[in-house]
Structure formats: structure tokens, C-alpha cells
Structure 1
Amino acid sequence: MDASNRGTGDGPGTPPPSDDRRETESERADRRWGELIQEVRVAQTGVQILFGFLLTVAFTPRFQDLSDTDRTIYVVTVILGSAATGALIGPVSFHRVVAGRKIKPAAVLWASRLTFLGLILLLGTLTSALLLILRVATDDTVVPWLVAGVVGWYLLCWFVLPMWARHRHTTPD
């Protein structure tokens, strides 16, 4: 592919590639919307289960024994989880509000941006939840290393490998 075909058109702010699908703009928007909603379903389920669990933590007897630092981490985690939930549910609401207005390509773009933001917020939620749990469950000296390793893994799986593949398969050899 030539340099003008860089990008998938599916990420935030990336232009659609010219490809051999021969789709109309409406067909492309419909396809991308279906793909995006499938992706959102996976992320939504995970963040909603995690957020539900986080909400129960404050009502456990052990919560009163947490240090001020751990309580602060907990509050940050709950806020991040709430924000991630909002961003990942946002595409559904966005679609419902604009349905029938003949602006699906724009709706797909905004829903994609909300989903990407939701994934960033989910990364923060998982990181802070892991930090809190490991601080309570293990020796504090290893916690930063464990959290950094897991965050590195998330970054590799969620962003580095997809960006590498995107670059590798959309540039001339």
C-alpha cells in the first residue's frame, strides 16, 4: 500500500483508507458502527464488573482499616472506573440520540473517540485497583515493580502491538 493508505479509518481522527471494499460512505459507517459496538460490548462488560466490585469495597469491615493513602487510591480508582463506564456507555447513548439524523459517519467517529477514551480510563482504573490490592495484600517494596510490569503488559497488548501492526501493514515494504 502507498503512504496515502496509512491508518484504518477506525481509530480516533484517522481518515478512512481507500480500499477494495467498494462501500458507500453509509455502508462503511454501518460496518464500522457494528464493529465498534462489538468492541464496546467487551470493554463495557469488564469495566462494569470491576466498577460493581469497587462499589462494594467501601462497605466491607476491612475498609475502615485502610490507611489514608489507600483510601485515596480507592477514591481515585472509583472515580476512574465511573469515568471509564461513562465513556464506554457513551457510544450507545450517542447513537440513540442521533439515530435517524443521517450523521452516522460523524457518530462513528465520535463513538470511536469515546471508546478510545474509555480504554485509557479503564487502563487507569485497572492500574489503580491493582495498586490498591497489591498494597493491601503484599510487601510494599515489590508493589511498584509488579504494577509497572502489569501496566507495561497492558500497554503492549492494547496499544504497542496494534500500533506496530498498523504501521507494519500499512506502509510500503
Structure 2
Amino acid sequence: MALGQKVKTALNETRTLILGAQILIGFQYQSAFQPRFDGLPSGAQARSAVALALLLTAAGLLIAPSAFHRIAEGGASTGRVQILTGRFAAAALLPFAVALGIDLQVTLALTFGGARSGAVAAGAFTATAFGVWCGWGAWMRRHWGAGERAKATAERDNREAVPLQARIEQMLTEARVILPGAQALMGFQLVIVLTSAFDTLPQSLRLLHGAALLCVALSVVLLITPAALHRIVWAGEDSETLLLIGGRLTVAALLPLALGMTADAYLVFARIFDSTGLVVALSAGLLLLLLALWFGWPLAGRKHRDALSEAGLSGAK
């Protein structure tokens, strides 16, 4: 399989994972504003906040390879992108599994009428999920795939000239990887204003929610634009200009998405915790993590790539 196709396959697999996380992210944001949430034990509410932080971390990890591909590699198909996409997807499984277990524990405790039975059922399911995702893979790794892994490692520094059509497909796939996170959040943002819990929020938090809604709406608009331009301007034909504009819009959409995600996370944390310092620390930590994954790390990778290119040119002289 050509390297460009391998990169696209890796991105598609990442999209599958984030589609699964999308459901939990939407639930996690909305649950804090449901009528029965205030009746939950404080421990259950705190675990719900932890689950939200874990899910946003998982989403950040899953989106990071797309940002790296655009920013650090300039959209080029490289062995490094293929390897890093797989590693980040694997890293996202642990916070995803733990968050899934927390959500199941809260909901099953209400379903079965007891915290212990809910915890047992949720714990068993979480162990099963993590065992299937990671344990089974670790066991199979001992017996299969050594040749394929060695080949991927050998191709780490490879850069492949990919046809324009394939590069456009990769760019559109990356937009589709990012879009589910924005969709999950925007659905919550539109519905929350109709809940009675929203009426109890201070005006400052309502304004913060409005700002977060505008940020996520802007992100959605930016992510949809490349596909719209492809149809309207170029009638679905391939164009270097489309690739350039689409790639930049996809990267630009990440900043308002990070701001919107963490602003509304602040809203949820403020509903759960009385300590303003804790709420600010959690929200700021998540924002810094997302910015580091989506911008800091890719920009450092681009700087490293440029330094290697300059060193190669100097050596050639």
C-alpha cells in the first residue's frame, strides 16, 4: 500500500474513534444541566467532571495528528504522520475507556437502584473494553505484525509524492475528524439555554456560554467551508488552491474549537465545584493541553523539519 493511502487509512481510523467519543462528550456536557443531576451524590458529580476532562483529553489526542499533518508536515504524506497517528489513537483509548466507565457507573447506579451494583457493572464493562482494545492488541503484538511494524518504522523518515486528488481527500478527511467534536459541543450549547438550570447561572457564565457558542459555530463554519468551496467554485475538480485554502481553514478552526470546548467545560465545572480556583485551574489546564497538542507540538515539529532541511542544504554545499 502506498504511503499516502496508509496516512488516509490512519486518519479514517482516528475518525472512527472520535465518532464514538462524540456521543459521550455530548452527554457529559448536557448531564450537568439535567434535572436529576443536582440530586446525585457529590462524589458522582465530581466523577462526572473527571469524565469530561478525560474525554476532552481523548478528543485532543485524536485530533492532534491532523494538526501535525497540516502544520508540521505541510500536508505531505510521511511515515512520521502514519506512526504518530497510530500512537496518539492508542494513547486516547485509556482516557476514553475510563470516562466510559465513569458515565456507566453514574447511569447504571440510577438504573439498578444502587451505587454498588452500578459500580460493579461499570467496572466490569470498562475492564472488558480496555482489555479488548489494549490487552488483546498487546497479546496479538507478541505473535503477529512484527514485519509490518518494522516496515512502518523503516518508513518513518519517508516522504511520498502524492497525487493532488489524494491530498485533497486527506484534507477533507481531517476536517471530518475534527467536525464531530464541534458537533457534539454545539448540540449541547443550543439545547442548554432551554433548561431550567441555565436560568440559575450568573450572568457572567451565561455570557461565557454565548462566547463559547460563537467560537464553536465559527469552527463549524470553517470546517464545512472547504467542502462547500470544492463544489461551488471548482465543481468537485482538483485544485491546488482548494488544497491550500482548505488546509489553512482546517487549522484555523482548531483555535475557536479549543476556546469553545474549554469555556463550556468551565461552565460544567462551575456547576459541580464551589471552588473558583479549582474550576479555573481545570479549565486552564485543558485549554493549555489542547493548544499544546494542536499548535505547540506541530509548530515544534515544523521547526525541527525546517532545521533538518537547512542542515541538509548546508551539507550539500
**TM class, shorter-chain normalised?**
0.7 to 0.9
Shift of 1:171: 2.2
2:109 maps to what in 1?
Answer: none
- Higher normalized helix content (fraction of residues): 2
1:65 maps to what in 2?
Answer: 200
Q: Aligned in 2, Cα 1:109/1:136: closer, same or farther, shift over 3 Å?
A: same
Q: Deviations over 1:93-114 (max 9, x none)?
A: 1111122486610011111121
2:180 maps to what in 1?
Answer: 45
Q: Which amino acid aligns with 1:50?
A: L
Matches for 1:155-166 after TM superposition, within 5 Å:
155-166=291-302
RMSD: 2.2
Q: Which amino acid aligns with 2:297?
A: L
Q: Aligned in 2, Cα 1:153/1:20: closer, same or farther, shift over 3 Å?
A: closer
Q: Aligned in 2, Cα 1:22/1:118: closer, same or farther, shift over 3 Å?
A: closer
3-state SS of 1:99 partner: coil
The more displaced of 33-42 and 100-109 is 100-109
Structure 1 gaps, min length 5? 1-6, 12-18
Shift of 1:136: 1.9
| Matching residue within 256, 271, 286 for 1:150 | 286
Output the CA distance in 2 between the equivalents of 1:160 and 1:136: 31
2:277 maps to what in 1?
Answer: 141
Q: TM-score, normalised by structure 1?
A: 0.80
Q: Aligned in 2, Cα 1:102/1:22: closer, same or farther, shift over 3 Å?
A: same
Output the CA distance in 2 between the equivalents of 1:171 and 1:97: 39
Contact 2:168–2:238, Cα closer than 8 Å, also in 1: no
Q: Which amino acid aligns with 2:278?
A: V
3-state SS of 1:126 partner: helix
| Matching residue within 241, 245, 249 for 1:110 | 245
Shift of 1:8: 3.3
| Matching residue within 212, 224, 227 for 1:77 | 212
Q: Which amino acid aligns with 1:150?
A: L
| Matching residue within 39, 55, 58 for 2:190 | 55
3-state SS of 1:171 partner: helix
Shift of 1:9: 3.3
Which structure would you say has the larger RCO, counting Cα contacts within 8 Å and 6 or more residues apart? 1
Output the CA distance in 1 between the equivalents of 2:299 and 2:243: 20
Identical aligned pairs, as a percentage?
24
Output the CA distance in 1 between the equivalents of 2:289 and 2:161: 37
Structure 2 gaps, min length 5? 1-71, 77-157, 312-317
Output the CA distance in 2 between the equivalents of 1:167 and 1:49: 33
Output the CA distance in 2 between the equivalents of 1:131 and 1:168: 35
Is 1:86 paired with 2:221? yes
Is 1:9 paired with 2:144? no
What is the number of residues matched between the two proteins?
A: 156
2:120 maps to what in 1?
Answer: none
| Matching residue within 298, 304, 317 for 1:168 | 304
Specify the structure having the higher radius of gyration (Cα).
2
Q: Which amino acid aligns with 1:127?
A: T
Q: TM-score, normalised by structure 2?
A: 0.45
